[in-house]
Amino acid sequence: MDWEIFLKLRNLKTIYRIFPILIFFIGCVGFSQTPEQQKMIDKALKMRDSIMECIGLEEVLQKADQQQKRLESDEKSNTKTSPIPKATKSEDKYWKNTLASNSNNKLPNWNKGEADLVFHYSYDSKNDKINFVEVGVINADGTIELNPTKKIPVLKPLNNFKNSNTFFDIHNPDSYQYTNENTGFKLNSYLLVYQNEQQIGILTIGNSAKVTLNLLTPGDLYFGDEGYILSWVFAAEACAIKANENWSGDLNNTGTPLMVETNVVYDLNFNPGWNMVITEVIGTYEFPNAPEEDRSRYKKHNHTSVASIPKEATYFFRSTVQY
């Protein structure tokens, strides 16, 4: 109801106190009246007409009736059951502000000049900055060079991985088995790109634009797009992580249950110093009629150690603007 109608209707509260008196006098018109009574009736009729004209009562009632009909119509339309829209697989978000390397490990159309590739290992809250070591460079022409040699000065115990695993694919933490569980360890699935002491983006390595973004995005970790991503690992001493979990349950993001069965394997053996891990998404459950957030789910995650970057791997640079 609009403001004008509200104000006019509010004034009716006062008028309602007068109307019973007016109605009493007006109702007496059909009977014989004394001259004094007739004067009072005439006065009441004039007051009624004045009030009706002042507040535009007829107009108010018409507007109120129209408003009520609109509200009833809206309520009916809102209660209609709408079919679940078919999900459309969004490609745009995977390539927004993103460059992919060619076969020569070079980023075509790179125009940002030379930039450092760094591996972060902690956050300094006192000075509000990220602590990192340099592991490579993007040259001015877009070529990528990686040569991690520096040690990571601050590490957490290997057995803390059950709390820091950003893939969130093991549901029972007791599934993990560690060798040399107290040695220092750090894993990142991306490198930060720095220029002039400012982060300008991130660099991931894999064979899929989807997988290399899904496995960094909390709401998309369970997506079933197939492919792999590489992670960088630094270990203080030789150590290992093993796990093999078969799990069944609900992996929905939008409230409608998505019952799936998954298998997750960790078969990781680390040497002292720098190591690499490949995480493969294998097999897909498709839900074509589900909302975008539930369009697919993975069947298997396979985490294994690799000695080097696969020759066919692609480097994906994503600008910080995207985040």
First vs last Cα of the chain: how many Å apart? 42
**What pLDDT is stored for residue 8 in this prediction?**
45
3 state DSSP class of 323: coil
On whether the pTM is more than 0.85, the answer is no
Please choose, from the candidates 299, 242, 285, the residue with its C-alpha nearest in 3D space to the C-alpha of residue 265.
Answer: 242
**What pLDDT is stored for residue 66 in this prediction?**
59
**What pLDDT is stored for residue 38 in this prediction?**
60
Mean pLDDT for back-to-back runs of 10 residues, the chain (323 residues): 43 45 45 55 54 45 55 49 37 89 95 97 93 98 97 97 96 97 98 96 98 96 97 98 97 92 98 98 94 94 97 96 55
Q: What is the DSSP string of 68-137?
A: HHHHHHHHHHHHSPPPPPPP----HHHHTTEEE--TTSB-TT--S--EEEEEEEEEETTTTEEEEEEEEE
Which alpha helices (DSSP H) does the chain contain, by range? 3-26, 35-55, 57-79, 92-95, 161-164, 211-214
SS percent in the chain: helix, strand, coil, step 5: 30, 35, 35
